[in-house]
Amino acid sequence: MAQAIGQQTGAAATVRGYVVGQPTATSTVLRANFPNDYALALADTAGQTNTGQMLYVQISSGYRAAWGLKTNPGLLGKQIEVTGPLGAYFAHPGLTSPTGFAFAGTQPTTSTGPTSTSAGGGPGEYDSTYYKDAIGRTGPALKSALHTIIKSQTKLSYDQVWNALKATDQDPAKPDNVILLYSGRSQSKSSNGGKPDDWNREHVWAKSHGDFGTATGPGTDLHHLRPEDVSVNADRGNKDFDQGGSPANQAPGSFTDADSWEPRNEVKGDVARMIFYMAVRYEGGDGFANLEINDSVNNGSNPYQGRLSVLRQWNAQDPPDAFEKRRNQVIYETYQRNRNPFIDHPEWVSSIWG
Q: Give 51's contacts (C-beta < 8 A, 6+ positions apart).
A: 23, 26, 27, 28, 29, 41, 92
Crossing angle, helix 322-330 and helix 158-168, to 10 degrees? Answer: 140
Cα dihedral across residues 215, 220, 224, 230: positive or negative: positive
What span, in angstroms and rounded, lies between the C-alpha atoms of 343 and 339?
Answer: 8
Among the residue ranges 92-101, 211-220, 308-317, 343-352, the one predicted with the least confidence is 92-101
**Global pTM?**
0.68
Q: What is the pLDDT of residues 324-333, one digit of tens each?
A: 999 999 999 8
pLDDT for the residue numbered 124: 41
Euclidean distance between CA atoms 97 and 18, whole angstroms:
19
The yes-or-no verdict on residue 111 having pLDDT over 70 is: no
Partners of 21 in beta bridges: 41
Long-range CB contacts (< 8 A, 24+ apart) of 72-75? 73/32, 73/34, 75/19, 75/40
Question: Which pLDDT score, from 0 to 100, does residue 88 have?
Answer: 81
User: What's the pLDDT tens digit per position in 21-65?
Assistant: 999 888 899 999 998 898 999 999 999 999 999 999 989 878 899
- The SS3 call for residue 57 is strand
Mean pLDDT of all residues in the chain?
A: 91
pLDDT at 9: 82
Task: Give 121's pLDDT tier (boundaries 50, 70, 90).
Answer: very low
pLDDT category at 127 given cuts 50, 70, 90 is low
Neighbours of 25 (CB within 10 A): 19
**Contact assessment for residue 90 and residue 78, using Cβ atoms and an 8 Å cutoff:** no
Please check whether residue 104 is in contact with residue 30, taking contact to mean a CB–CB distance below 8 angstroms: no
* Confidence class for position 89, pLDDT limits 50, 70, 90: confident
d(CA 11, CA 84): 8
Strand order in 170-171's β-sheet?
Answer: 170-171, 174-179, 186-188
pLDDT in tens, 276-313: 999 999 999 889 999 999 999 999 999 999 999 999 99
* DSSP assignment string, 212-269: -TT-TTGGG-TTSEEEEEHHHHHHHTTPEE-S--EEPTT-TT-EE-SSEEE--GGGHH
Q: Residue 116 pLDDT more than 70? A: no
